[in-house]
Structure 1
Amino acid sequence: MQQVKSDILTHRGSHFDLGVQTGQWLKQTALLKNREKEWRKRMPRFDIHIKETYDIFQMYAPQIWEEIKGMQEVLQLPTSQMILNFGHYRFTKLKNSGCTIFLGNDYMVRNYDYHPATYDGRFLLFQPNDGGYAQIGPTSRVTGRMDGMNEHGLTMGYNFMHRKKPGDGFVCYMIGRLILQNCKNVSEAIQLLKEIPHRSSFSYIVMDANLNHAIVEVTPRNIDVRYDRTCTNHFELLTHENRNYTKESTERLSRLIQQTPNSSMDKMEAFELFNNPEYEIYSKLFKSWSGTIHTSLYEPKKRIVYFTLGENQSPSKIDFSKWLQGETLEIKSFKGSIDTNLTFASY
């Protein structure tokens, strides 16, 4: 059993200045060095186009481009390297992951299942003054988000489906960021997902402050929307797009449905269901790229987040609405235990 930690960082100000802060954080970690090792082991199976990437960011998120420029000022890397590591827009010339989500009446609970070596170990509260909405949540590949909530209470998480027949487009963690950056509610999130180009096939799960919710099934070729409360790693509507092997996903979904008989389940009961391996929602398949790294629970109406790393932990609580009003955040990190010797990317 390994002890793990995720730093909690806060920033109020411009995206460029956030990029500067992020670059300074990166220089104190092993994340970039580990990323360089990964690129040496496996060459990218996509191309880098600077102008086309710049143009797409100007269309959907010009502030995030400024954030990347702020990081570049500190890291002093060429633009092609910045796009490779932080742009997350891929041009085609692609491992399995898990993730489970349940939507209660007024919350979303989610297990993020992937490989520890891809995990930033960084949780961010950001209140911009130059456009885009304030956000809270764990970062993914530095500039992306794998789940989170914004100032309007819109909450987002995604589940992997497959990487067959990839297209030119944004990858999942940048799409998660774009949703939180640009959308106030579920209908706006659905519209954005219909507009932007997608690299791979995922389900994006969203819930807003009015407690509207949706599961948006997306591939580079199709998009459809359902309004269920459970999601694992196979499509229910775009079934022709599913992987050949979905047995583990369908069995996990069955266990989840059996143990969540209705949406009024108490949020802390739901959190324990997801975070305690005894209930077989939490996964320890780290070497197969599908071990549970964190459990998160978001309350869109109250703008409250519960979060923990690893298994069998009492979650830490952050009141995002109070932080947005200027209250100082006392907690500086999350700590937990995961049953693997694989380390985070920032270690």
Structure 2
Amino acid sequence: MKQFYSDVFQYRGTHYDFGYWQGKLLKDSPILLNREKQWGPRQHRHFLIDPVTYKDIMLTFAPAILDEIRGLADALHMNMDKAFRLFGGYYLEYTRSGCSIFTDSRFMIRNYDSHPRGYEGRYVLYEPSDQGFAVIGPSMQITGRIDGMNEKGLVMGYNFTNRTKSGDGFLCNMIGRLILETCANVKEAISLLKAVPHRHSFSYVLLDPDGASYVVEASPRQVAVRKSSVCTNHFHVLSKENRYRQEETRRREAVIHNQQQDAQSAYQAFKVMNDPAHGVFSKKYDAAAGTIHTSMYFPKEKKAWFVIGPDRKPVIFDFSKWLKGDNVNIKRIKGELDYSHPFVNMG
């Protein structure tokens, strides 16, 4: 087992200032350099469509995030075309991943399964002073979010389904950011998911303080909504969008259903997902399907749990206190994975 970590960042202010602040931090971080190395000869596939088109779309859904990208570009002395490509979360290739989600009326638990070498190791608390809701959660592509919760208690996580037959549209991580920053509840999030263009096929799991959990199956062609407490990596309604092989994702779905029936507390439910003995936590890192983090969100209490690696006690964030101005004292979340290469933030 090797030690890994995520750095914790917290910021209050305008989107431009937030972007500029992050850009200054990235100058001293290995994240961007390691991203460029990873993309290598595949760089030609990591492109953006016409920047004018992108700006028009972002002005429709979240104009403030454009200001964040401008701040990043200014701090990094980068032209906007490159900034859009690196931080825009639109029309890029996406690495296949796993992921499992379980909800009940009180909480959502999410295993994020992917390749550790692409994980940027950033856990972010941001409260905008210009527009949008405050959000807590791990980041992807700096501006996007892997999962998270906003100040209204809306919780979001997503699971990969398929990347074939992709279309022009947002990546999952930017869609996650759009949901959390602009939507107050599940109803608004469903409306947004029906309106935004989707690059790939993903399930978005939504929960708010009302306690009803919905899975939104979204592809570049269709969006469908169903009520469910479990989601893995296949669609139920849009079944024609699924990958050919579904044995493993359906196995995990059944295991979660069966194991969670015996969970008597939130912590026991968390252990079902995080303890490998229960059969949900995965160590298939070389196949881009190993569990990197387990996150848990409580919409009513506005608390967030987070761990890196298996069978660990969660780091607990009291988001409600943070929203009142009490900064967290946690600088770094540490864990261990059975993998030899570091996250991109670790050099």
- Give the shorter-chain TM-score range: over 0.9
Write the letter of the residue equivalent to 1:119. Y
Unaligned segments of structure 1, at least 5 residues: none
User: Tell me, what secondary structure is at the counterpart of 2:272?
Assistant: helix
User: Tell me, what secondary structure is at the counterpart of 2:345?
Assistant: coil
The yes-or-no answer on 1:172 pairing with 2:163 is no
The yes-or-no answer on 1:87 pairing with 2:95 is no
Aligned to 1:37: 37
Unaligned segments of structure 2, at least 5 residues: none
The yes-or-no answer on 1:71 pairing with 2:72 is yes
Write the letter of the residue equivalent to 2:159. N
The yes-or-no answer on 1:308 pairing with 2:340 is no
Aligned to 2:235: 235
Alignment of 1:1-347 (within 5 A): 1-45=1-45, 46-90=47-91, 95-261=95-261, 265-347=264-346
* TM-score normalised by L of structure 1: 0.97
User: Tell me, what secondary structure is at the counterpart of 1:346?
Assistant: helix
Q: Is the 8 A contact 1:91 1:167 kept in 2?
A: no
User: Tell me, what secondary structure is at the counterpart of 2:209?
Assistant: coil
Compare 159-168 and 325-334 and name the one that shifted more.
325-334
Cα shift readout 1:310-346 (whole Å, capped 9, x = no counterpart): 1111001111011100112111110000100122111
Q: Is the 8 A contact 1:48 1:84 kept in 2?
A: no
Residue 41 of structure 1, CA deviation:
2.7
Seen in structure 2, the aligned counterparts of structure 1 residues 318 and 73 have a Cα distance that, compared at 3 Å, is: same
Q: Is the 8 A contact 1:203 1:235 kept in 2?
A: yes
* TM-score normalised by L of structure 2: 0.97
User: Tell me, what secondary structure is at the counterpart of 1:233?
Assistant: coil
Write the letter of the residue equivalent to 2:239. T
Q: Give the whole-Å Cα distance in 2 for the aligned partners of 1:119 and 1:299.
A: 24
Residue 212 of structure 1, CA deviation:
2.4
Q: Give the whole-Å Cα distance in 2 for the aligned partners of 1:155 and 1:176.
A: 10
Write the letter of the residue equivalent to 1:324. L
Aligned residue pairs total: 345
Write the letter of the residue equivalent to 1:134. A
Cα shift readout 1:99-130 (whole Å, capped 9, x = no counterpart): 00000220000000011121111111111110
Seen in structure 2, the aligned counterparts of structure 1 residues 91 and 43 have a Cα distance that, compared at 3 Å, is: closer
Seen in structure 2, the aligned counterparts of structure 1 residues 91 and 158 have a Cα distance that, compared at 3 Å, is: closer
Q: Give the whole-Å Cα distance in 1 for the aligned partners of 2:182 and 2:105.
A: 24
Q: Is the 8 A contact 1:197 1:220 kept in 2?
A: yes
Residue 95 of structure 1, CA deviation:
3.8
User: Tell me, what secondary structure is at the counterpart of 1:6?
Assistant: strand
Residue 55 of structure 1, CA deviation:
1.0
